[in-house]
Amino acid sequence: MALHRLRVGVAGLGRMGKRHALIFLNQVPRAELVAVSSPDVKEREWAAENLAQHGVTVYEHFPDMLAHDSLEAVCIASATSAHADQSKEAIASGKHVLCEKPLSTTVEASQSVVDAALKRPDLQVVCGFSRRSDESYRDAHRKVQEGLIGTPTVMRCQSCDILDPTGAFVSYAAVSGGVFPDASIHDIDLAIWFFGKDAKIKSVHAIGTAACYRELRQYGDADNAIGMLEFHDGRMVSLFVSRTMSGGAEDSTEIIGTTGKLVVNQVPRTNSVQLYQAGGVFHQMPQNYWKRFHNAFVVQANDFTASIMDKGPPLIELTSAVEVVKIGVALQESMRTGWKICFDEHGTRIDQAHL
Amino acid sequence: MALHRLRVGVAGLGRMGKRHALIFLNQVPRAELVAVSSPDVKEREWAAENLAQHGVTVYEHFPDMLAHDSLEAVCIASATSAHADQSKEAIASGKHVLCEKPLSTTVEASQSVVDAALKRPDLQVVCGFSRRSDESYRDAHRKVQEGLIGTPTVMRCQSCDILDPTGAFVSYAAVSGGVFPDASIHDIDLAIWFFGKDAKIKSVHAIGTAACYRELRQYGDADNAIGMLEFHDGRMVSLFVSRTMSGGAEDSTEIIGTTGKLVVNQVPRTNSVQLYQAGGVFHQMPQNYWKRFHNAFVVQANDFTASIMDKGPPLIELTSAVEVVKIGVALQESMRTGWKICFDEHGTRIDQAHL
Amino acid sequence: MALHRLRVGVAGLGRMGKRHALIFLNQVPRAELVAVSSPDVKEREWAAENLAQHGVTVYEHFPDMLAHDSLEAVCIASATSAHADQSKEAIASGKHVLCEKPLSTTVEASQSVVDAALKRPDLQVVCGFSRRSDESYRDAHRKVQEGLIGTPTVMRCQSCDILDPTGAFVSYAAVSGGVFPDASIHDIDLAIWFFGKDAKIKSVHAIGTAACYRELRQYGDADNAIGMLEFHDGRMVSLFVSRTMSGGAEDSTEIIGTTGKLVVNQVPRTNSVQLYQAGGVFHQMPQNYWKRFHNAFVVQANDFTASIMDKGPPLIELTSAVEVVKIGVALQESMRTGWKICFDEHGTRIDQAHL
Amino acid sequence: MALHRLRVGVAGLGRMGKRHALIFLNQVPRAELVAVSSPDVKEREWAAENLAQHGVTVYEHFPDMLAHDSLEAVCIASATSAHADQSKEAIASGKHVLCEKPLSTTVEASQSVVDAALKRPDLQVVCGFSRRSDESYRDAHRKVQEGLIGTPTVMRCQSCDILDPTGAFVSYAAVSGGVFPDASIHDIDLAIWFFGKDAKIKSVHAIGTAACYRELRQYGDADNAIGMLEFHDGRMVSLFVSRTMSGGAEDSTEIIGTTGKLVVNQVPRTNSVQLYQAGGVFHQMPQNYWKRFHNAFVVQANDFTASIMDKGPPLIELTSAVEVVKIGVALQESMRTGWKICFDEHGTRIDQAHL
């Protein structure tokens, strides 16, 4: 008699959807990939070739996949614009949800998912902030909990992608919500994770430039930007986000506390090889975030599965996924307008003149 | 219709056997763990609890496991003294073999496995030198092949374990063959891999000390030892092996070529976290080789499976596994006697007086 | 016949004054320390004990030192409040000037030194931004000039001191002008140096907290602060300044260009020693900026001397020393008020409402 | 009244002699360079141009320099073949001696200097092993003394030069005594320094190859070699020496103790700059030992001067300089003959057959 394994479907088979599907197929012993869905015919062809032979049913329409026999959970990796609606549909039909970040590019839509989830406390509804599943970030978080750096006071975060010579991110800017909601969102989530829920945002301010891709300006977007977060208890975050790094993906984080500092990934490296050649020493960097974080996605999928199978507590409090969107959107607005944006202690936005 | 997956059995369920069994159970999508065997009742109890529910049959006797329905391949992770005989039995019954290193602690027994394998070219018979499956070593090897360092001339290798305060390795010395055949064997294999098959051993010489565990002397063994290998074409290897490192496992390798140098794992680290505290910067090291190399074992199991399923060429030429034992045994003898040991170009041992 | 050596006097014998005096005494072969001055009797006693035996005359009053026989140049290391006046006096009496940073804590006073210097183009008048004399920063600057990173677009700078348990910096806050004019000033100078004179400041914004030393609040100062600079051509600087680092002095700089990135001092270290002990690897950090930069001060003193002896061009354009103060003061004001401060392309301050 | 400064002469103005002369001229406040000597007319011309204006007298003959008015100390930087005789002449005429390493390429000549020095305990007679004056090695040595690594048991040392494309070292091999006495001598001295005088050499063994410069074979020399030292108390040293490194000078040392390990200069770097460019991260290495160690020579000259002026104890026990030559010569012989060379506890050489 075979053991019961969690029956999972994956929605969306773009770059990330394919990865999620293969992870649930091959790297989550307690789960079973039973269905996938995609409105894109090419993506369904890929699934027919690569997944169908393993007994995975391929759907065109998400609602049809939801109705798949005994489906228990879905991983939503479709276009960002579909995240919130698909999440709510899945919750409504009683499925556990692992939704790719962000829940939405608007605060309102993000909140609507939280509202839906609150009505179904029996379901795991998780927004997939992958860094929370990365072993280095987990180790750093554990060390903070153990008091190794005292009280965290300042964070310095950078989410920097290698320059994509195809410029794909330019057209993506039309739908991504901008560089802060899209890329810095991981760092904003880290701030909430490391500072704790009691840290209430007080102000955000950002500036940016389109140094390499001037076309971004038409979307009010930038390829390099810096921002600052201020919390009501005085804590601060300095953000740097870039689409144009030359060496590779650079996602580094410093957590500075009253008695010490933790750094994650200060000098990125692909592996433990160093090459000594004319003049000096060289090592390779991960060329994209997937090389850096793919293992975190495997851990995330396994933890999601285990939390359902073992009826554990929520993996990540979903409300923080809304806060993260709120801050990201405000940063993007600040960058566009040049204005600092402020919030009172209840999280209500206030005009700077009221300060 | 389910796809065919390679039907694998694992022999021996000690520390490494358990790991191999769980890897084949959970982390090799193209394989299916169908059987395990162990003469040890405790180990079988572990299997009953952890594997049986997944449809794995548990055997006491290795030959019974070999007879398991449709078994195609075995992974031999039993005591070293059983490696050679079980490998030959498995080959005789037409199973593919992945045998933990070393094939044996003697050259003769190792060679007998090669002889058996030569008669069955239809079978994959692999000695599991895990470093060949490590991504950093593979990257380094690829870079050598691409000519990035010219001709490799000198290697400096260290296989150093953290000090085990239980002193378990002392009693293990009675059966391990000694520190060179047991631990340096990985480095000897790396030398053969990086220098190529044409590098014929010319001399070995070793010295050692029992700095922390004087009881090792009764076995002619040491807890710290250094050795040198000389090949007939002038290439050289400097070896360092230790059982008493304080910081953690340090398995580092330098490959020095005529136009550059590659280093693998020069400064070991567990992850990408650094801790800044009073006085300076600290990072953690892997506390044992498993933390450093566990992913290599997963890759090895997948590659072994793929080579069989896809009817590929031999993963590693098995003859090198004999050469490795020969060199390791000679180093240990040199350390015991104080004599340099020499070989002619045909590999025949010659007395130093003949030089 | 002895060679002519530049006859130098040092004003002020506090911590930095003593260092400058000893450098000119012992480490500048082409200069001769002939006089020092200090209004402080303890400092003069130190000079009597340590310098007088080397033929150095000790003065109480700065004007008296200026009148010392054949004095050619002065190094001004007195209290910041005296920098501008002493610089102008020295210029008026025809002495070359090496003035410790900053020229003053106000823009007006700083500008008055520049005005005085403009009337005496025959004199070297230098504000001592020591990082410009540090070999690593010089190497980075050279690499930027050589085009190794394309066009510098973003800088991330941190000037972070180890926590001084005596809390000396609290009372110092009363006169230092605040953490930005005092400590970040080095980073602002680096921005001007690396971006070039054409980069016109557009806006500054800062936030800060008194995380460890609440007393700082009475001075409108902070022990940890972050700031952002925006230039009219779109370039940006992210600043972090701290008085409370636990590990040691951390003065790190990233210069991010369109085709590469340079980092100076990413992981600070005192020397090349690493200690492997229980659990991992440790190295020491410099415990203060002097350990990190003392050699830069020696280079600076030698370069200052050489530029006079060899009648070279100005070492650093003095006007940038005013711009640096202007930006530092604006950051401090922004931190106090919560307002972003803007400048038009001519450098005139404009109200944010005018944006 | 000027303070008394130590009156120093420098013998030999080749590459190292020029450096020593300039150090004593400019970087040793308590010393005064008063004379230099060289049999080479080009070298004397250099001195006439660069030193004479500073009041330094230039001599052709060493004995004439020794007779220079009130000369107190000499730094001997002439050809190695002259070291011993000049040292003895200087001692005989009552001068303190700082002699470049080695005292000689033979044990006998080295010992003759020790014998001469023993008769003049009022003189400092120092063999200049520069690494003992390097701040990193001193820090490591201090940490060993403080017990941070327990008892040092094994050392791994490498003295590796960048490949000199002029091949100058080939002709130098005719007089250098070979790669071990010439280059590994620093590492042998480090072993004596870190293990302490009680460590009595038991055996040496070396192998080498002329991988890039086959002409070296005519001198019985190698461009890459490895060696092992064994002491009677069981301690061991593994040596690697190379003339053909591609990246730069690599002089690294590991001191492995019973409770920890110290490493000096594990990854060589010229300064604190890192360059991120296509594919990864690069930093420059020192291109020669001078870049790495020039500050150690300055410290050495200052310490030598201070020990005389302050009538301090011997800086380094001179007898160890003989032991170092003895071991270096034995390594070179072992490499030539293929034989391990052994010594009894009194330091007398014994035939391996006596073991």
State pTM to two decimals: 0.95
Neighboring chain A residues of C236 at a CB cutoff of 8 Å: 207-209, 224-226
- pLDDT above 70 coverage of chain A, percent: 98
> Within the 235-274 window of chain A, which residues sit less than 8 Å (CB to CB) from chain B?
259-266, 268, 270-274
Digit-coded pLDDT (tens) for A238-259:
999 999 999 999 999 999 999 9
Contact: C247, A261; criterion CB under 8 Å: yes
Neighboring chain B residues of A55 at a CB cutoff of 8 Å: 2
Neighboring chain C residues of B270 at a CB cutoff of 8 Å: 280
User: Sign (positive/negative) of CA torsion B102, B108, B111, B112?
Assistant: negative
Contact: D260, C277; criterion CB under 8 Å: yes
Contact: A280, D284; criterion CB under 8 Å: yes
Residue type, C71: L
Tokens (6 digits) for C219: 């001075």
Neighboring chain C residues of A157 at a CB cutoff of 8 Å: none
ipTM, two decimals: 0.94
Residue A318's contacts (CB-CB under 8 Å, 6 or more residues apart) are A113, A114, A117, A125, A126, A127
Q: C175: pLDDT confidence band, cut at 50, 70 and 90?
A: confident
The Cα B130–Cα B304 span in angstroms is 12
**Torsion angle in degrees (nearest 10) through CA of B62, B63, B65, B71:** 130
Q: Which of C262, C268, C271 sits opposite D273 (nearest CB)?
A: C262
* Residue in chain D nearest A288 by alpha carbon: D279
Q: Which of B246, B270, B278 sits opposite C246 (nearest CB)?
A: B278
**Any long-range contacts for B320-323 (C-beta under 8 Å, 24+ apart)?**
B320/B189, B320/B192, B320/B193, B320/B197, B321/B101, B321/B102, B321/B103, B321/B110, B321/B113, B321/B114, B321/B127, B321/B129, B321/B189, B322/B103, B322/B107, B322/B110, B322/B111, B322/B114, B323/B192, B323/B201, B323/B347
* pLDDT attached to residue A50: 97
DSSP C225: E
Closest-CA distance of chain D to residue C342, Å: 33
- What integer is the mean pLDDT of C118-124? 96
DSSP D2: P
Do the Cβ atoms of A168 and A216 come closer than 8 Å? no
Closest-CA distance of chain D to residue C277, Å: 5
H or E, element range at D115: helix D107-118
Closest-CA distance of chain D to residue C134, Å: 10
Digit-coded pLDDT (tens) for B40-97:
999 999 999 999 999 999 999 999 999 999 999 999 999 999 999 999 999 999 999 9
* pLDDT attached to residue A1: 45
Contact: D209, B236; criterion CB under 8 Å: yes
Subunits close to A (at least 3 CB pairs below 8 A): B, C, D
Interchain contact D154–C (C-beta under 8 A): no
Backbone angles phi, psi at A262, to 5 degrees: -115, 140
Q: What is the 3-state secondary structure (H, E, C) of A275-342?
A: EEECCEEEEECCCCHHHHHHHHHHHHHHHHHHHHHCCCCCCCCCHHHHHHHHHHHHHHHHHHHCCCEE
Interchain contact B278–C (C-beta under 8 A): yes
Beta bridge partners of C229: C204, C237
Residue B159's contacts (CB-CB under 8 Å, 6 or more residues apart) are B183, B184, B186, B187, B239, B240, B241, B242, B251
**CB pairs < 8 Å spanning B and C:** 63
Digit-coded pLDDT (tens) for C342-351:
999 999 999 6
Contact: B247, C281; criterion CB under 8 Å: yes
The Cα A296–Cα A135 span in angstroms is 7
Subunits close to B (at least 3 CB pairs below 8 A): A, C, D
Contact: D211, B242; criterion CB under 8 Å: no
Q: B1: pLDDT confidence band, cut at 50, 70 and 90?
A: very low
Q: Which of A246, A279, A287 sits opposite D276 (nearest CB)?
A: A246
Q: Is the pLDDT of residue A355 over 80?
A: no
Contact: A282, D278; criterion CB under 8 Å: no
Query: Which residue, B212, B215, B211, B222, is CA-closest to B182?
Result: B222
- What integer is the mean pLDDT of A26-53? 97
* pLDDT attached to residue A352: 57
* pLDDT attached to residue C10: 98
Digit-coded pLDDT (tens) for A8-19:
999 999 999 999
Digit-coded pLDDT (tens) for A106-136:
999 999 999 999 999 999 999 999 999 999 9
Q: B2: pLDDT confidence band, cut at 50, 70 and 90?
A: low
* pLDDT attached to residue B353: 45
- pLDDT above 70 coverage of chain C, percent: 98
Q: C1: pLDDT confidence band, cut at 50, 70 and 90?
A: very low
If DSSP codes are grouped into helix, strand and coil, which group holds residue D339?
coil
Contact: B207, D242; criterion CB under 8 Å: no
Peptide bond into B102 cis (omega under 30): yes
Closest-CA distance of chain A to residue C104, Å: 29
Q: B352: pLDDT confidence band, cut at 50, 70 and 90?
A: low
- What integer is the mean pLDDT of B314-343? 94
C198 against D134, higher pLDDT: D134
Contact: C136, D273; criterion CB under 8 Å: yes
Residue C168's contacts (CB-CB under 8 Å, 6 or more residues apart) are none
Neighboring chain C residues of A235 at a CB cutoff of 8 Å: 209
* pLDDT attached to residue C355: 38
Neighboring chain A residues of D280 at a CB cutoff of 8 Å: 247-248, 269-270, 282-285
Contact: A260, B276; criterion CB under 8 Å: yes
Mutate to test the interface with B, among D139, D146, D209 (most CBs of B within 10 A): D209
Summary mean pLDDT of chain D = 94
Digit-coded pLDDT (tens) for C132-168:
999 999 999 999 999 999 999 999 999 999 988 887 8
Q: C13: pLDDT confidence band, cut at 50, 70 and 90?
A: very high
Contact: D285, A279; criterion CB under 8 Å: yes
- What integer is the mean pLDDT of C217-223? 93
Mutate to test the interface with A, among B272, B287, B299, B302 (most CBs of A within 10 A): B272
Digit-coded pLDDT (tens) for A56-85:
999 999 999 999 999 999 999 999 999 999
Q: Is the pLDDT of residue C352 over 80?
A: no
Contact: C276, D260; criterion CB under 8 Å: yes
Residue A33's contacts (CB-CB under 8 Å, 6 or more residues apart) are A8, A9, A10, A21, A24, A25, A51, A54, A56
Q: Which residues of chain D have pLDDT under 50?
A: 1, 353-355
Contact: A247, D274; criterion CB under 8 Å: no
**Torsion angle in degrees (nearest 10) through CA of B311, B313, B319, B320:** -120
**CB pairs < 8 Å spanning A and D:** 63
Neighboring chain C residues of D275 at a CB cutoff of 8 Å: 143, 148-149, 260-262
Contact: D224, B244; criterion CB under 8 Å: no
